[in-house]
Amino acid sequence: MRKVKEMLRLHFEVGLTNRQIARSLSVSHSTVNDLLGRFQVAGLDWPLPEDLDEAALEAELYSGNAGKSRRRPEPDWNQTHRELSRKGVTLQLLWLEYKDRQPDGYQYSRFCERYRLWSGQLDVVMRQDHRAGEKVFVDFAGQTVPLTDPRTGRVTEAPVFVAALGASSYTYVEATAAEDLRSFIGAHCRAFEFFGGIPEVVVPDNLKAGVTHPCRYEPDLNPTYLDMAAFYGTVVIPARSARPRDKAKVESAVGVVERRVLAPLRDRTFFSLAELNRALGELADQLNRRPFQKLDGSRRSLFEELDRPALRPLPGRRYEFAEWKKARVNIDYHVQVEHNYYSVPYALVHKEVEVRLTLGTVEVLFRGHRVASHIRAHGRGRFVTDPAHMPEAHRHQRDRTPARLITEAETIGPETGKLVQAILLDRPHPEQGYRACLGVIRLGRRYPPERIEAAAQRANRSGVRSYKRFQSILENGLDRVPLEPRPETPPAAHPNVRGPHYFGKEATPC
């Protein structure tokens, strides 16, 4: 149900068609049609009330020929081409305005024919019909730039990210450390800041960082990519696989960048990303200011005229990179994420939840509703527990469950009971030792009681307080090795043994 609210947002806030919504969210367009019909029948309003979670929303929705030839005034086709890039402007509107100025001008069919003949003389990039502020096309260039480590001399290849706006071809260029998800998302954020606004649609290629499962009809996007798009109020519609015309704008921009930006740097040596990006920025600025060959102006002037006024404003802060994972709540009402454990309300035991990870926080969501938020722990094996998530019995009578675990362990033998008790006492909260204790007890299903007891005796003697080390004793057969008796008397005196008085003497000067 997480996609339901996203469908409604893309319909009401972004204004996409049903098929565009379907392509973005990897669902069929009939599903989008059905959802919007149910929403209308339900009598709901957008935006939805803040207290309406996905479960309640689900309940609401699923309870539907030109006369004689003569010379006529010729329109300004350059201006016509630019005006067509504005939102809502059509050839019919421009023709009506032209006829108001020139009553003897071309009729509509001839006007359209003349425009198409004129536009056919332009480059392929300029012939495409892109609305101002509507789309930004993104991709990595096929060419990389060598980076040299000044200390070791090792050379690595830096990928180059390219973003081009549809209407103006205004281009952003950035070298990244890798083509991974973090670099890909970060480059988007910096590109939006470079443009000074947000376009309606982001069109990427089907690269691994952004598209989890490429498909011609319904590609599945990475959850982090969707999260970033929702943060900026835009939508991601990937180009179809093996269809370069879907992203011809960025394909052309990449080619121009390789010729005008990367090729001039071929003989330079760069020792850091920052140094490389300064050089790329200077040449990209020259590219954006370079006059067009067959149109008036440049990428920069078209951007200022068309795209900049149509872009949506940037939010007050930059998107914070977040990873999404799925986890299942264990019996101790904690979820395991990146080798650490975070509590959730105990009623969600055994439920599957979604986890949103940022650099400093961990958020847990169940059916689209946030149920827990914690400061992210660093290291391994750490427990982060909110007392409000614990059952009443655990908050006020915490000794009941540990006592039951100890009693169950003692049915195997006294040494096992001592080990379980030691594990529980070793943790700040007994609940944090439940997993280890359950693991020790359940090993009794695989090994006979006498081996469990012998292993527990060795663990108690060695100070073992973890399930994995206890399991290692059994797997390596150490429980079958007799324990050495503890010495009851101090070792006999020996002339080569230095007593404590030796270390109290002052050193003899040389």
* Tokens standing for residue 479: 């429980």
Say what the pTM is: 0.56
Find, among 246, 240, 234, the residue nearest to 195 by Cα.
234
At 435 the three-state DSSP class reads helix
Take residue 120 and report the two structure tokens written for it: 């056919």
Closest CA to 72 of 46, 102, 100, 50: 102
Which residue ranges form the domains of the chain, and what is each CATH number? 2-61 (1.10.10), 77-121 (no CATH), 135-310 (3.30.420.10), 323-392 (no CATH), 398-480 (no CATH)
Does the CA dihedral 473-479-485-491 come out positive or negative? negative
Sequential pLDDT tens for the chain (510 residues) = 557 888 888 888 888 888 888 888 888 888 888 888 888 877 777 888 777 777 778 777 876 433 333 567 888 888 888 787 776 678 888 888 888 888 888 888 888 888 887 776 664 444 445 788 888 999 888 889 999 999 998 999 999 999 999 888 899 999 999 988 889 999 999 999 999 999 999 988 766 665 654 444 445 678 888 889 999 999 988 876 555 555 566 677 888 888 889 988 888 999 999 999 999 999 999 999 998 876 778 899 989 988 899 999 999 999 999 888 899 999 889 999 989 999 999 999 999 999 999 888 999 999 888 999 999 998 888 899 888 888 876 665 454 568 888 888 999 999 999 999 998 888 877 777 888 888 899 898 899 999 999 999 999 988 888 899 999 999 998 888 888 776 665 655 666 655 555 545 444 444
Question: Which residue has tokens 């990449």?
Answer: 254
For 471, half-sphere exposure in the C-beta direction (CA atoms, 13 angstrom radius) is 13
C-alpha pair distances (Å), 162 with each of 189, 212, 250 = 13, 20, 7
Residues 141/254, Cβ–Cβ less than 8 Å: yes
